[in-house]
Copies of this chain bind each other. A is one copy, B any other.
Amino acid sequence: MRSPADPFALPNHGGELSLAAARFGQPADGWLDLSTGINPFAYPVPVLPPVVWQRLPDSGDDLSLREVAADAYGINDPDLIAAAPGTQAILQLLPRLRPFSHVAVVGPTYGEHARCWGNAGHQVTPIETLDRSTSADVVVLCQPNNPDGRRFEPGRLLEIAEIQAAKGGLLVVDEAFVDATPEISISHLVRPGLLVLRSVGKFFGLAGLRLGFAVAEPQLARLIRQALGPWAVSGAAMAVGAMALADQEWIISTRRRLPQEVAALNAVLGRAGLTVVGGTPLFTLVNASRAWALYEYLGQSGILARPFATSPRWLRFGLPPDDAARQRLVTALENWT
């Protein structure tokens, strides 16, 4: 997983600047990294007091963080929440908490779900549409979906969660990119049969912080807390996460800003003849007849987009951080033939 990978293979994840440098060389102007869906207008992190680094966060700190998250997500009980060093940590352990299961992953979607369930020995089947009559023990989807931005009707998800609950199954809804469109979130509606994942990294632009949450019925949330063990979340993630999640002013203005930013990005991509086929306020998916060649061309120009090994016509772009960056993309695309 973390060993040096083949730089000439397509990357498995966005943000792999080390691999990009191995493939394309280090760009003279530095990377313009558009390969992730991380908000480039990040929550401003203040200077932290030394205690954040020095003290072992205790169970009271963990409870306080879960209370802040409960408030932020409209959840009435912090015992429905488990805090983790990034939702990836939950993806890694969740498959170990279930006996052998048939797992249906609604895709194409974020690859780590299928990878983690598969690595733990479960039988994973990719499915294209959400089917209420599924025989799968576990159904996994992303709301909105990454990379195409597909949305699922919340009422339908709750209905499927109930069907799953009735047979001892589980619906996993990864809301990593939901913060910009909270009206489609169901994290405040968790019930038996439903597990919702929330991330701090994307919307708040704090991917390096490593903070995410699982929301589930109390028994499952407790099981996840136990599997994570004590002190899973760093002092800095606790302090900064609590600030960010409670900062309504920043959240509201960011929810207003992101759709404008993605519209400006889409305009640039459209003028270059690329067809936007989906997205969220944090990223855009385009269809390009030679997407891998365009990825290669942009990479040579120091601009990193996100190709997909399984979808040779897709390329995903994150938000440029400023006008100069957007102009750099414009210039590169103008010279693309």
Q: How far is the CB of A15 from chain B (nearest CB, A)?
A: 4
CA distance A209 to B59 in the complex (A): 16
Output the least CB separation between A123 and chain B (Å).
19
CA distance A13 to B230 in the complex (A): 10
Q: Which residues of B contact A319 (CB under 8 A)?
A: none
A89 to B88 CA separation, bound complex (whole angstroms): 13
Residues of B within 8 A of A116 (CB): 229
- Contact status B91-A229, CB under 8 Å: yes
Which bucket holds chain A's interface residue count? Answer: 35 or more
User: In the bound complex, do residue A208 and residue B18 qualify as a contact, i.e. CB atoms below 8 Å apart?
Assistant: no
CB-CB < 8 A to A230: which residues of B?
Answer: 1-2, 13, 88, 112
A62 at the interface (CB under 8 A from B): yes
At the interface, yes or no: A269 with Cβ under 8 Å from chain B? no
The residue in A51, A79, A234 that gathers the most chain B C-beta atoms within 10 A of its C-beta is A234
CB<8 Å pairs between A and B, sample of 19: A1-B59, A1-B229, A3-B222, A3-B225, A5-B59, A13-B56, A16-B58, A18-B63, A42-B53, A42-B54, A51-B208, A53-B206, A53-B208, A54-B207, A56-B207, A92-B229, A208-B235, A209-B234, A236-B236
Having A54-B208, A85-B232, one finds 8 other A-B pairs with CB under 8 Å, namely: A1-B229, A2-B59, A17-B60, A56-B201, A56-B207, A92-B227, A210-B234, A234-B236
